[in-house]
Chain A
Amino acid sequence: MDQFLQTFKDGIAIGSLYALIALGYTMVYGILKFINFAHSDVVVLGAWLSLVIARQAEAAMGWGAVGTASGAAPWWFGGVVLVAAMLLCGVLGFAIERLAYKPLRKAPRLNVLITAIGVSLLLQNSGQLPAFFGTKPKSIPPLVPDTVLFSIGQVQFRVLDFAVVGTALLFMIGLDWLVFRTKVGRAMRAVSHSPTNAGLMGIPVDRVISFTFVLGSMLAATGGFLWALKYTQVKQPADTSWTLLGLKAFVAAVVGGIGNIRGAMLGGLTIGMLEQFGSAYLRSSLADVYVFGLLILVLLFRPGGILGSAAVDKV
């Protein structure tokens, strides 16, 4: 029972992070129909920026770590770090779209895919330079107190757990509201349906696409921030585990139904649960195999994903 509860808790936590990152993939795919390989690098940047900002700010203000007795950083400090990281990543997302993807709006999808790989490699390898983050993992100072709130059996529920899952859920609900209840959200859905027609109806397509990228990058930054909070240690930018994280998030988007925002959330949770339960009850070293195995199964039997509808390519 304890093991089940623990696994369930981990599955929810990691699943909500996958979902957060998957949203960025699915929004871009929905509109521009290509896999934005650079998305996982924005997540990395979010994590590293949070780390650097937290360290610098604490040093500048003379604060100790959150949760220590004297001179600790205030409770809202984590929020400030998150907002700063989100803003910077949003700017980066805007720049990537304008400089690398916009010139290719009319190019074949394969070329855009290659550009995305190029952007991804560029971000990874420049992030590794000594001038930026270097080639060694570093750990982020704790921004959320690590106190145990309550425990069921052996399983402890900490403030950190609620902070991670709560923030992720909050952002997902916010995005859902934005996409389905606001004017700009309607414009996004229209562009996703058909950029040409949306343009004819007077929707500023380029601006909507930029907005989507900024939004996706901000969610990616949040994902990176929460990832750093949860695992404390932030791996170097070109570490393969980051690409793998992005890959799994993309799998989550495909499993949920690519282009479908609620599908991405559902897919993220599915992948997180599958990975955690698979590692806990079967072999833990095969976690990646379960995820990609599910991808192949979904592609074989329900290529549109759980919530997606089978799309037919028209001439």
Chain B
Amino acid sequence: MRSLVDSSIELRPRLGPTILASLWPIVVGIAFAVAMQLFVKPNINDYFAKQLLDIGISIVLAVSLTMVNGFTGQFSMGHAGFMAAGGYAAGAVCYYVSLRIWGTGGARGSILSGMPLDPSGLPSFAVGDLLFLGSLLVGGLVSALLGFLVGLPSLRLRGDYLAIVTLGFGEIVRVLIQQTEPVIKTAAEAAQTPVLELPIHVGGALGFTGLPKYTSLFWAYLVAAITIIVAFRLKRSTFGRAFLSIREDEIASEVMGVNTTRFKVWAFVIAAFFAGVAGGLFAHTLGVGLSAEAAGFMKSFDVIIMVVLGGLGSISGATAAAIVFTLLPEVLRDPLATPAWIVVAILGVWASLSGLAAWRSREGGAERPWVMKLALKLLIPGACVVAIYLAGKNGIDLSPYRMIFFALLLILMMIFRPEGLLGVREIWEREAWSWLIGGRRKAVAASPPQGGGS
């Protein structure tokens, strides 16, 4: 007869499959990023490529904020502040190192950074790419350090102080950036300036111009993939379960031995790191003027809207919301001109879902057949999509009403479906959809309310 020890050893995961299981998401992520740059980019116009790039950066921001606002139930409102701090740090490193070493601030990337293929045959990964990667990491680390400094005092206290402190932090970053010195343009001047003084020369109120433009679809989607993978790992790990336990009930998790302050600060620092990396991506994007305004709270509000509407704690929800939120202004401006068929389809699904979510809790009965109910629920969102289509047909610009639409959605969402579209669930989990075709709100009943108990 086998001992208990033997049978428990059998239950232990084997090394080979474990390594495979942990590697495949990264491989898929890299492959996806490479494919975006090498196969998708040449086949679309520049405008749509820029949209895709913005989407990638928005995904990084939204998913990283999900770790704080969604998983841990804390409310950070200064994500743009971390993004700007990281962007400036990354930009300063990348720009001044290039200026010192190569004498120009231009990019020296490979085809993956969107540079033309050198006839002499550049290697697929150039020195410039490594420098860019390094500066992204520096940006992330600077931002994470700031996150630690801001988070430690405010996370010891009641939850909502974090909101106000992070908002204030964003403002401080913005004001401090405006105080910086003008950018050094030439290599000779840069060589004369002491190294420690270089980070002060990041443009002040005029903005940080002349940065090398490394950010390509490859980089944006590589970072997005890594962020999503890290978020999933967190959500499924013991470490991340501590985040979720804080969000469900802070006092209970403290009683169970979770050091709540420590985990809150960890969540905050990890999120700030990715926000900083996103800032680095943003700083090195073609056609973007990095200025102090990037740290303003309107940008933070945008990210919050994405996270809340997607579902507080749902990674796929935040990703979907980031895509829709970034594309929506274009759609509203001229629904028929943009690559409309994709975009309106996404919007249609999205509007239907959120409309459904609102509709759902109003009518409780389960008497009607589900097809009828589905049709009934699709009525209002369907009307919205038709209205947008008609506005496009008649040349009416709806984009000024964009934020009003989102604000209303935010309020209605909190009243009728407070956990956001998907809650903590992911898109592919069946429970997340059970409300769609009727029945009682099983998924909702199973998930306790968010926010710290008091």
Q: Which residues of A contact B (CB under 8 A)?
A: 33-35, 100, 103-104, 107-115, 117-122, 124-126, 128-129, 240, 243-244, 247, 250-251, 254, 283, 285-286, 288-289, 291-293, 295-296, 299-300, 303, 313, 315
Contacts and interface: CB of A to CB of B under 8 A. Distances in A.
B251 interface: yes
Given A108-B418, A117-B304, A122-B404, 14 more contacts: A103-B415, A107-B414, A121-B301, A121-B406, A121-B407, A122-B408, A254-B161, A292-B165, A292-B169, A292-B172, A293-B172, A295-B165, A296-B168, A299-B157
Given A35-B163, A313-B454, A315-B251, A288 B172 contact: yes
B410 A243 contact: no
A295 B164 contact: yes
A107 B164 contact: no
B154 interface: yes
A113 B403 contact: no
Contacts of A244: 171
A104 B414 contact: yes
A153 B298 CA distance: 44
A118 to B, nearest CB: 3
A110 B75 contact: yes
Interface stretch (B175-183, B266-274, B275-283): B175-183
Contacts of A104: 414-415, 418
A186 to B, nearest CB: 25
B165 A107 contact: no
Contacts, number: 134
B297 A122 contact: no
Nearest to B404: A125
Contacts of A113: 75, 160, 163
Contacts of B160: 34-35, 109, 113
Contacts of A251: 164, 168
Contacts of A110: 73, 75, 159, 312, 450-452
A115 B450 CA distance: 14
Contact of A108 (B172, B404, B450): B450
Interface residues of B, number: 49
A289 B449 contact: no
A192 to B, nearest CB: 15
7 contacts: A108-B450, A109-B452, A113-B75, A125-B403, A125-B407, A244-B171, A254-B164
Given A243-B297, A288-B172, A288-B175, A115 B415 contact: yes
Given A126-B404, A288-B175, A108 B449 contact: yes
Contact of B411 (A118, A254, A293, A313): A118
Contact of A121 (B179, B401, B410): B410
B194 interface: no
B388 interface: no
B231 interface: no
B236 interface: no
Contact of A296 (B153, B298, B410): B153
Nearest to A100: B411
Interface string B424-454: 0000000000000000000000000111111
Contacts of B67: none
Interface in B322-378: none
A115 B411 contact: yes
Nearest to A107: B418
Given A34-B160, A122-B404, A299 B454 contact: no
Contacts of B453: 108
Main secondary structure of the interface of B (DSSP, over half): helix
Candidate in B75, B168, B251, B304 with the most chain A CB atoms within 10 angstroms: B168
Given A110-B451, A129-B400, A292 B168 contact: yes
Contacts of B418: 104, 107-108, 111
Given A108-B450, A110-B450, A289 B172 contact: yes
A107 B449 contact: yes
Nearest to B405: A125
Given A110-B73, A110-B450, A129-B400, A240 B298 contact: yes
A243 B410 CA distance: 19
Contacts of B415: 100, 103-104, 115
Contacts of B251: 313, 315
Contacts of A115: 410-411, 414-415
Nearest to B178: A285
B92 interface: no
A298 B372 CA distance: 58
A34 B160 CA distance: 7
B308 interface: yes
Contacts of B212: none
B69 to A, nearest CB: 8
A148 to B, nearest CB: 34
Given A35-B163, A109-B159, A299-B165, A288 B153 contact: no
Contacts of B301: 117, 121
Contacts of A283: 179
Contact of A289 (B165, B175, B312): B175
B249 to A, nearest CB: 10
Contact of B164 (A33, A35, A315): A35
A141 B453 CA distance: 50
B350 to A, nearest CB: 17
A275 to B, nearest CB: 12
Given A110-B451, A303-B157, A247 B168 contact: yes
A114 B168 contact: no
Contacts of A313: 158, 251, 454
B225 to A, nearest CB: 28
Contacts of A125: 401, 403-404, 407
The 10 closest A-B pairs by CB, nearest first: A108-B451, A118-B410, A292-B168, A110-B451, A122-B407, A121-B407, A118-B411, A125-B403, A115-B414, A111-B418
Contacts of B172: 288-289, 292-293
